Structures are given as structure tokens and as C-alpha cells.
Amino acid sequence: MQKKDKRFRRSDLLFAGAIFVIAIMVYLLFHFVYGKEGAYVQVAVDGKVQGQYSLSEDRNVQIDYGQAEGFNVLVIEDGKAMVTEADCPDKLCVKQKSISRSGETIVCLPHKLVITVIGGEESEYDGFTG
């Protein structure tokens, strides 16, 4: 019984080691593929997704709001996204710093606009769960 236990443990350890190596490879793949090329910003208005734009391409996006007057200008430059212009009363979205890391957001409360970075480098370390 003791021998069997020992053998089982050793293979268990090997198995765990293999899983660990695979996890690192998947993480690195994910990190390189999505962390650099795949990062994008998601633009949502009033909880509805209006568009997604890659952070690797510089561009200006004018966000309009149908019937009501209002606009925000989203600028993507050097892998970062920021709001450079808006006609909202508080202009808090314009004052917010540029975002580039996964989970970071720019919010314009008067326009119910939420810009979120998705698939970029993690801004917090939470292991392999993300």
C-alpha cells in the first residue's frame, strides 16, 4: 500500500507540473496575443454596446446620441484611449486620464457613456483567473 501511495503521489506531482507548464504557456499566449494585438475598447451607451475599436490602430471616433444633442470624441492613440472633446456639462470624461489596461474605464455620466478596455494587460494581478 505504501509503495502504491508513493507512486500515485509522484504521478500526481507530474500531472500538476504538466498542468502548471500548460497554464503558463496558455497565459503567455493569451498575454502576447491579446495583451498586445487584441486589446480593444468597448463603447457602451446606456448599457448597450455601440462599438468596439482596437487599441492598436490610431483613430478618432465621434459618438453621437440620436435624438438628443450630445457628443463625445473618443481618440485612440499609441495604444491608449481618451475622450478629448464632449459637450456634457461636467466634462469629467474629458478630464479623465487615458486608459489602456484591461478593466479601466472612462465614464460620461450625463451621456450614460462607458468606455471600457477589454483584453489588454491586466491592471491587477489575480493569477490565472482572468
Sites of contact with Zn ion (CB under 5 A) = 86, 88, 93, 108
- Record the cell numbers describing residue 122, joined without a space: 491586466
User: In the complex, what is the shortest distance from the CB of residue 44 to Zn ion, in angstroms, rounded to a whole number?
Assistant: 14
Nearer to Zn ion, 39 or 106 (CB): 106
Nearer to Zn ion, 56 or 60 (CB): 60
User: In the complex, what is the shortest distance from the CB of residue 50 to Zn ion, in angstroms, rounded to a whole number?
Assistant: 15
Cross-sheet strand order for the sheet of 80-86: 59-64, 71-77, 80-86
Nearer to Zn ion, 39 or 72 (CB): 72
Nearer to Zn ion, 73 or 88 (CB): 88
CA torsion 22-23-25-29 (nearest 10°) is 140
User: In the complex, what is the shortest distance from the CB of residue 59 to Zn ion, in angstroms, rounded to a whole number?
Assistant: 20
User: In the complex, what is the shortest distance from the CB of residue 33 to Zn ion, in angstroms, rounded to a whole number?
Assistant: 33
